[in-house]
Amino acid sequence: MEFKEVIGRRRSIRFFDPDRPVEREKIQKMLEAARLASCAVNAQWARAVVGFRDDLTDDQLKRLKTPVAGLNTELAPVHIHWFNDLGVVRRNEGRPLKELVDVGALAPTHGWSHKFVDDFVYPQILKPLTESPGYPIASTFDVGVAVCQALLTGVDEGLGVGLVTLNGAVLKEVFGTPDDWIPLSTILVGYPAESWDAGGQRPRPPFEEMYHEGKYGQPFKRDDKVVEELKAANMIQAPATSNNPARIAEIKKLAEKYGLPM
């Protein structure tokens, strides 16, 4: 699938086929994509625990379910739980930056050397960063980039994916993660039981409300020609509409199949 179409086809799938297993190699591909994501100071805060639903005890699955995402979690055969490893910078003490120096990604033309990392970057920037109240927020942004790449790779592999937030304290207990791993979001993974387009592309605010140019209040002008180009590439697709008869019929059919309220 072309990249723009992968973005356009992504939906938050909520009806998974609970009886169709997901190939391990497809999960690995999602994790490989996350591993290659850009990350500030090459710290790589992103960590994940892959949970195969059928390997969980009934009690563990029950504890993981939340009022908002309980059914999704029960139906999805695979759960990828993402964490922010806040201890990684202190443990590495600038070593990942030195690796970038060694391979020429950080060049001496820009002032980079092992000595620069040891004498300035780690003690005066990275170590103080880990002691800042904003550290968890700043590093979580980079974990989000990795999660996004995993999510889109799942779509490219023909899987259904959905991003949910489960109970962080329960995640840490069930999977025994270190104290300095902060629980974030979970990607639910499986083959969709609903149609891949799930009723159409989700509503979003108007483009020019979201993006500004030069200063706040000055919209970045949307070019209709670009919009048409992205429609042709299947990145911008038919939007979801209210009370769509076909979508309502699909949900009713799924409700009957899985014994769900309607």
pLDDT tens for 39-70 read 999 999 999 999 999 999 999 999 999 999 99
Per the structure, the complete domain to which residue 65 belongs is given by: 3-194
Residue 252 within a domain: no
Task: Yes or no: say if 47 and 142 are a contact pair by the CB < 8 Å rule.
Answer: no
Residue 94 within a domain: yes
Average pLDDT for the chain: 96
Residue 251 within a domain: no
- Residue 107's pLDDT band, with cuts at 50, 70 and 90, is very high
Residue 246 within a domain: no
Residue 76 within a domain: yes
Residue 212 within a domain: no
The identity of residue 16, as a single letter, is F
Q: Is residue 262 scored above 90 in pLDDT?
A: no
Distances from the Cα of 226 to the Cαs of 118, 151, 200, 214, in angstroms? 47, 25, 20, 20
DSSP of 147-211, one letter per residue? Answer: HHHHHHHHHHTT-EEEEE---HHHHHHHHT--TTEEEEEEEEEE-BSS-TTTTSBPP---HHHH-
What does the pLDDT look like over 66-96, one tens digit per residue? 999 999 999 999 999 999 999 999 999 999 9
Residue 132 within a domain: yes
Token match 């949307």: residue?
222
Sequence-distant (6+) residues with CB within 8 A of 210 are 204
Number of domains in the chain: 1
User: Is the pTM here over 0.85, yes or no?
Assistant: yes
Write down the pLDDT at residue 245: 95
Residue 214 within a domain: no
For position 126, which CATH number holds? 3.40.109.10
Token match 């003690």: residue?
123
